[in-house]
Structure 1
Amino acid sequence: MNSPHLIKIEHDLRVLSLEELEWLLERIEKQVQEKKQISNKFTDIKYINEQLVAMASDLYIQLEIAAINNELGL
């Protein structure tokens, strides 16, 4: 995967100090882990079902649904 954008980033990395590279690497690792967690949550059917059950029992959400239904005449 050698997009022009990635090639530019690689070139720009060469001017960073070791300390800056280490800091950047830590930030990248953190972002990758966060994206993996989000991705896993949305592909985990059990998690989605748990969230739907929680939403269905949430009074605020029930009131909002009732208000929407009322506006739509349902």
Structure 2
Amino acid sequence: MKLKVVLEPSEEGGYTVYVPALPGCISEGETKEEALKNIREAIELYLEPLEDDRLEHPYAEVAEIAL
């Protein structure tokens, strides 16, 4: 899965990063690399309940579409 993220310099230093497609999915880091690492973890945690829902519905499928 590919998601676009927005990486912005913070006024206090470091970077804030968020995922427009996942409301409320935001993280930060001292460097760009750290911020991107942290947002990957935040995305995994954000999507975890979706995986749990899929386990409750064993016939459900996940599909990827291009827009």
Per the shorter chain, which TM-score range?
0.3 to 0.5
Bigger share in helix: 1
Higher RCO (CA-CA < 8 Å; seq separation 6+): 2
TM-score by length of 2: 0.37
Going by fraction, where is strand more abundant, 1 or 2?
A: 2
Name the TM-score, length of structure 1 as normaliser: 0.34
Query: If you compute each CA radius of gyration, which structure gives the higher value, 1 or 2?
Result: 1
